Amino acid sequence: MANNKIVKSKESNILFNKLGKEFAAIYNPEFIFPGYELVPLAPIIKAPIKGLKAVVMDMDGTTTTTEELCTHSLEIMVRKITGRLSSSQWTGLDHEKDYPNIIGNSTTKHVEYLIKKYGSGIVKEELANSYIYAALWTLLIGQDDSRKAEVRTNMINLGLKDVLTEKKYLALQNISQVSSKELNSLFKALRSKYSTLFKGVTFNDLVKASIDIYYQKYHEILFQIDKGESKKLAAQFLGDKNKHLIEPMTGVPVFLALIKGLLGADVKFVINELINSFYDNPAAISGSELKRIEKSIIKLSLNFEKKPAKVAVVTSSIHYEANIVLKEVFKVIHEEIEKWNLPAERKTKLLEHFSDHNRFYNAFITASDSNEIRLKPHRDLYSIALHQLAIPKNDFNQVIGLEDSESGTIAIRAAGVGLCVAVPFIKTTGHNFEAAAYVANKGLSEIILKHNCFLK
């Protein structure tokens, strides 16, 4: 039977049982055959491990605070297609009910959920106009070629093919930097002619169009950040230009420096960074307890100095997005390290390591390495990461996977990593983390202070 590639369901049960004891049902986007797939999960690892070879970790919500910008852009998309732009017309997405369904999966799955829930409120003309604007922006101002290609295909399928040969459009296409003023006047000139031709009616059409509207909003924000307008955006979104729109999640800078073996015995100078985010009342910790903590962290840090772990960032965002996000996050990490009270030589070394995310990570895997239909909770991105890190399958039990969402934790286990740790943040605490071996509600400092990075 082992050589039979086609088996009947009875035999397939036998093969299935050999694959493992636990499986995840992964539901595909509507246009995919089959509707769902059952994938085996690596057995959960609870016991301390003998060594840590690698950490594979998610970006949005685990490494960075970007998830807020994604959910904001999804909400704007719903507002645009339903014509309910102000909060008096619609209060917005429901944190409890909506957030578990729009964080951590592929954009297609997030948008499918929103169209099922809010699609009955769609106003055809608003949808058509929003779509035309988003498509023009993506083609004329957007920076990602694969997005442009998808938008062109969608325009043809949605009845807007002739926009692509309009003289006014072609004239702007030859300009290297189209201004928003030029874009707006083109949009005004074309919308009345084309909004009636827009023929998005089926569920899949609505999803495709809404995905393009979402991406346009999100990429517009990233485009501004990339142009160095973070402070202006922070003032607009957070009401304070000195706050960071995109930051590392708490504990990320120390955690990354620690496991890469960059801190050595000098970890004692940054212990407070961890203690303050883990203990509710750090002032109440006794002197002897502090000594014990310091001793054990120094031991852990020296261990990593001798045997650094490899680190991969693994995200369902496309490369264009992830590159801007990580560039911004590493800039903020730099600012944080500048404030650490470290010996000068150590600080210089750290700053150099954190000067470029492309150099820092041993692997940087994005949706662009796979395909929208194979993103988390499918294992592919994590499998690619483990392969790029050159971790043999036998050593997967010395890898930690970190995720803030349900589908991310499933992807880690599906890729063969049993030591899967959920690090939820405020918007994902409602997720189901049955797939995780541990849930570290206090994040990365908990993994270090409470679990000693799961090392013996």
Q: In the complex with Mg ion, which residue's Cβ is closer, 75 or 404? A: 404
Q: In the complex with Mg ion, which residue's Cβ is closer, 147 or 427? A: 427
**CB 343 → Mg ion: shortest distance, Å?**
35
- Decide: is 112 part of the binding site for Mg ion (CB under 5 A): no
Q: Which two tokens stand for residue 335?
A: 């600012």
Q: What are the DSSP E strand ranges found in 245-369?
A: 310-314, 363-365
Distance (Å) of CA 95 to CA 98, 100, 103, 438: 6, 8, 11, 24
**CB 76 → Mg ion: shortest distance, Å?**
20
**CB 200 → Mg ion: shortest distance, Å?**
29
**CB 425 → Mg ion: shortest distance, Å?**
9
**CB 64 → Mg ion: shortest distance, Å?**
9
CA 21 – CA 187 distance, rounded (Å): 56
178-197 binders of Mg ion (CB under 5 A): none
Q: In the complex with Mg ion, which residue's Cβ is closer, 160 or 222? A: 222
**CB 103 → Mg ion: shortest distance, Å?**
6
**CB 434 → Mg ion: shortest distance, Å?**
17
Binding mask 29-58 for Mg ion (x = CB under 5 A): -----------------------------x
**CB 115 → Mg ion: shortest distance, Å?**
22
Q: In the complex with Mg ion, which residue's Cβ is closer, 61 or 377? A: 61
Interface segment toward Mg ion; rule CB under 5 A; list 89-97, 326-334, 393-401, 405-413: 405-413
| Residue matched to tokens 């009401």 | 239
Binding mask 203-242 for Mg ion (x = CB under 5 A): ----------------------------------------
Q: In the complex with Mg ion, which residue's Cβ is closer, 132 or 322? A: 322
Q: Which two tokens stand for residue 394?
A: 């036998």
3-state SS, residue 441: coil
41 by Cβ neighbours in 10 Å (0-12 / 13-18 / 19+) ranks as buried
Interface segment toward Mg ion; rule CB under 5 A; list 24-32, 149-157, 194-202, 403-411: 403-411
54-83 binders of Mg ion (CB under 5 A): 58, 60-61
DSSP class per residue in 197-243: T----SHHHHHHHHHHHHHHHHHHHHHHHHTT-HHHHHHHHHS-TTS
φ, ψ for residue 402 (rounded to 5)? -120, 130
CA 452 – CA 440 distance, rounded (Å): 13
Give the contacts of 103 (CB within 8 A, at least 6 positions apart): 60, 61, 67, 70, 71, 110, 404, 405, 427, 428, 431
| Cβ pair 300, 455 in contact under 8 A | yes
99, containing H or E segment: helix 99-102
Q: Which amino acid is at 24?
A: A
Distance (Å) of CA 195 to CA 126, 155, 384: 9, 12, 42
**CB 282 → Mg ion: shortest distance, Å?**
28
Q: In the complex with Mg ion, which residue's Cβ is closer, 65 or 230? A: 65
**CB 39 → Mg ion: shortest distance, Å?**
19
**CB 62 → Mg ion: shortest distance, Å?**
5
Q: In the complex with Mg ion, which residue's Cβ is closer, 60 or 380? A: 60
- Decide: is 406 part of the binding site for Mg ion (CB under 5 A): no
Burial readout 199-232 (b: 16 or more C-beta within 10 A, e: otherwise): ebeeebbbbbbbbbbbbbbbbbbbbbbbeeebee
Interface segment toward Mg ion; rule CB under 5 A; list 207-215, 351-359, 364-372, 400-408: 400-408
3-state SS, residue 350: helix
**CB 104 → Mg ion: shortest distance, Å?**
5
Q: In the complex with Mg ion, which residue's Cβ is closer, 126 or 369? A: 369
Q: In the complex with Mg ion, which residue's Cβ is closer, 61 or 443? A: 61
Size of the site for Mg ion (CB under 5 A): 5
Q: In the complex with Mg ion, which residue's Cβ is closer, 71 or 138? A: 71
Q: In the complex with Mg ion, which residue's Cβ is closer, 369 or 404? A: 404
* Chain residue whose CB lies nearest Mg ion: 61
CA 349 – CA 351 distance, rounded (Å): 6
Give the contacts of 147 (CB within 8 A, at least 6 positions apart): 138, 215, 219, 318, 320
- Decide: is 404 part of the binding site for Mg ion (CB under 5 A): yes
Q: Which two tokens stand for residue 218?
A: 């999100």
Q: In the complex with Mg ion, which residue's Cβ is closer, 275 or 439? A: 439
Distance (Å) of CA 352 to CA 301, 325, 334, 336, 347: 19, 19, 9, 14, 9
Q: Which amino acid is at 409?
A: T
346-365 binders of Mg ion (CB under 5 A): none
Residues that bind Mg ion (CB under 5 A): 58, 60-61, 404-405
